[in-house]
Structures are given as structure tokens and as C-alpha cells.
């Protein structure tokens, strides 16, 4: 995983290093807070604050069956983009024998809705094909939409962003962190540092602000960044992995090269999926 994403973002590393060293804008390295202060320690995605906004951005649970879902950790993040469709990272849902279910809020705080269909991007494939497979090696097109068994009536779907992600600090990164045995929804302000298209795969780099970190160990892959300002729930992108994960996973204030797939770049694929799922929805009374 580290080697794959390292190659994917290698061309972008100098930009991240420059940004990390910058003392201006939203890229300045954060100073370390006093962990002995209980208020600070409690406010640490690892870290982040408890989050109740953006209700359509939630989680996937995984198990052998609907009755045997693992509720002690999230499998990945996922965001509702239609009443019966969610979007997540494609690599999260490639296990054909597993059962997945979607929920929102803290785990256990909302009903779970079973996933009945999984549709990865047509150019994505989890296993290498042939001797040299750059699509697989770079984990490109890492996007999937999932069709749910029924409409979600306890959260409003997010809107897909209708323009390229703007560089700057107007996004909020959402993820899950286990507190005891219950994963809770958290978020942190974040900055889009740069964006790049690898062939036709649009990605961008997000850095959490403050003394926080995304956690692949906590199932944050597939989790969203959303627009922070305004009253609308606008999905900007989904987290697919960090180049530095082996060194910095869950290490607060140290992460750079966090790769996000742009929802603007995959709008056609997702809207086509929404239309197909709408056609297959059972008639409602």
C-alpha cells in the first residue's frame, strides 16, 4: 500500500514539503498542545471534535452476515449521495463474500441499511493485470457507489461538488474514532494543498489543521471532506490513503500526502449510478 501510494504522489512531494515548511497560510505546521489539559486531550480525528453536522456522511460496517456485523470499528467511511446510494473508496468493498451496511452518526445511533449492490469504477481493479499494471500499482479510480436495500429516511443526501476543489482551507475532514468499544463521528478543519490529475484520475491533497490526524487504522478510508462554509452538505472528495501512513497513521499534526479522489472528477460516474439506482427503487406508498 505504501509503495503504491508513494509512487502515485511522488511527483507532488516537493509541494507538500514546501507547504510543510511554510509559515504562512493554512499550511504552517501546528504547534503541539498541552496533552495534560483534559479539554485539549478530549479534543484530539485521532483527534477532532465530536461531529453531528453533515448527517449524510457516515460509515460502513462489515461482517459475514447482517446479523454478524462488526460494530466495534467502522470498515470505511461512506457518504449518502441519493436516498439509496452511498459513495466510498473502491478498495473498501472488494471482498465479494462480505456483507456491508451503512449508518450515520456514531455507530449505534441510527438504523443500519444493508448494501445490496456494489459498483466500482470501471477502470478500477484490485488485482494486477499483466506484467505492468499502473492502474493497479497507483490505485487509480478508487471510487465505488453502493446501492442500499431501502431509502435512508434518517439523513439527507449530500450534494456532489460542481467544480474542482479549491486550494485553501474551506473543507472539513470527517472520520471515525473508537472511544471504548463505540466508534464515534469526528471532524477537523482541513486544507486542500494542491490538486493533480494522473491521466484521467483526479486527486487532491488534504492536510488536517491543528493537532489532528486521519487514521487508516480506524477505517477513515472512504471518509469525506466536505465544504465547511454555508448550510449545504457538499461532498468535495473521499480519502483513499496516505503516502506516509506507515510512519504517521494516527500521529497528530504530522500527516502530508493524504490522497483524496475528487467527486467533481467522478460526477458523471456517480450521477449515472444514482439514475440507475433510482430506476430500481421499489415503489413507495
- Same domain assignment for residues 169 and 244: yes
Q: Does 72 fall in a domain?
A: yes
Instruction: Compute the distance between CA of residue 255 and CA of residue 205 in angstroms, rounded to an integer.
Output: 11
pLDDT of residue 194: 92
Q: Does 180 fall in a domain?
A: yes
Q: What is the domain-level CATH number for residue 94?
A: 2.40.10.10
pLDDT of residue 26: 41
Number of domains the chain is built from: 2
- Same domain assignment for residues 273 and 260: no
Q: Does 91 fall in a domain?
A: yes
The distance from CA 211 to its chain's CA centroid, rounded to whole angstroms, is 19
Regions of the chain short of the pLDDT cut 50: 1-7, 9-44, 285
pLDDT of residue 16: 40
Instruction: Compute the distance between CA of residue 283 and CA of residue 66 in angstroms, rounded to an integer.
Output: 24
**Residue 8 grid cell:** 502515485
Q: Does 39 fall in a domain?
A: yes
pTM: 0.84
16-36: per-residue pLDDT in tens? 433 433 323 343 333 444 433
Looking at the DSSP bridge assignments, the partners of residue 201 are 198
Which range marks the domain in which residue 18 is found? Answer: 2-51+159-265
- Same domain assignment for residues 172 and 258: yes
Q: Does 203 fall in a domain?
A: yes
| Location of C-alpha cell 448550510 | 231
**Residue 248 grid cell:** 504517521
DSSP three-state, residue 21: helix
Instruction: Compute the distance between CA of residue 160 and CA of residue 197 in angstroms, rounded to an integer.
Output: 18
- Same domain assignment for residues 34 and 168: yes
Instruction: Compute the distance between CA of residue 194 and CA of residue 19 in angstroms, rounded to an integer.
Output: 10
Helices (H), the chain: 2-9, 13-21, 38-42, 134-137, 245-248, 267-280
Largest CA distance in the chain: 59
Instruction: Compute the distance between CA of residue 264 and CA of residue 278 in angstroms, rounded to an integer.
Output: 21
The distance from CA 4 to its chain's CA centroid, rounded to whole angstroms, is 18
Contact in structure between 181 and 279 (CB atoms under 8 Å): no
- Same domain assignment for residues 105 and 142: yes
- Same domain assignment for residues 45 and 163: yes
Q: Does 33 fall in a domain?
A: yes
- Same domain assignment for residues 166 and 254: yes
- Same domain assignment for residues 36 and 176: yes
pLDDT of residue 40: 35
- Same domain assignment for residues 105 and 227: no
Q: Does 285 fall in a domain?
A: no
pLDDT of residue 260: 93
- Same domain assignment for residues 183 and 229: yes
Q: Does 96 fall in a domain?
A: yes
- Same domain assignment for residues 15 and 149: no
How many Cα atoms are found within 13 Å in the side-chain-facing hemisphere of 168? Answer: 7
- Same domain assignment for residues 47 and 93: no
Amino acid at each position: 500500500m505504501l509503495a503504491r501510494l508513494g509512487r502515485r504522489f511522488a511527483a507532488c512531494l516537493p509541494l507538500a514539503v514546501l507547504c510543510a515548511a511554510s509559515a504562512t497560510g493554512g499550511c504552517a505546521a501546528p504547534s503541539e498542545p498541552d496533552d495534560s489539559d483534559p479539554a485539549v486531550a478530549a479534543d484530539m480525528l485521532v483527534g477532532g471534535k465530536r461531529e453531528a453536522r453533515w448527517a449524510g456522511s457516515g460509515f460502513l460496517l462489515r461482517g459475514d452476515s447482517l446479523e454478524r456485523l462488526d460494530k466495534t470499528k467502522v470498515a470505511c467511511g461512506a457518504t449518502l449521495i441519493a436516498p439509496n446510494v452511498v459513495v466510498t473508496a473502491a478498495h473498501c468493498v472488494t471482498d465479494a463474500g462480505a456483507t456491508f451496511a451503512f449508518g450515520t452518526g456514531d455507530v449505534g445511533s441510527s438504523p443500519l441499511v444493508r448494501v445490496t449492490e456494489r459498483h466500482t469504477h470501471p477502470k478500477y481493479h484490485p488485482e494486477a493485470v499483466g506484467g505492468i499494471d499502473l492502474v493497479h500499482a497507483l490505485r487509480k479510480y478508487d471510487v465505488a457507489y453502493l446501492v442500499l436495500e431501502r431509502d435512508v429516511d434518517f439523513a439527507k443526501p449530500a450534494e456532489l461538488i460542481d467544480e474542482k476543489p479549491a486550494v485553501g482551507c474551506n473543507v472539513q475532514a470527517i472520520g471515525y474514532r473508537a472511544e471504548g468499544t463505540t466508534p464515534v463521528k469526528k471532524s477537523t478543519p482541513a486544507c486542500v494543498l494542491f490538486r493533480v490529475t494522473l491521466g484521467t484520475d483526479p486527486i487532491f491533497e488534504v492536510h488536517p489543521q491543528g493537532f489532528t490526524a486521519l487514521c487508516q487504522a480506524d477505517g477513515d478510508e472512504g471518509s469525506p471532506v466536505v465544504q465547511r462554509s454555508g448550510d449545504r452538505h457538499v461532498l468535495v472528495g473521499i480519502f483513499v490513503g496516505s503516502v506516509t501512513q506507515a510512519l504517521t497513521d494516527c500521529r497528530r499534526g504530522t500527516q502530508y500526502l493524504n490522497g483524496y479522489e475528487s467527486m467533481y472528477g467522478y460526477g458523471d460516474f456517480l450521477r449515472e449510478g444514482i439514475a440507475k439506482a433510482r430506476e430500481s427503487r421499489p415503489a413507495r406508498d
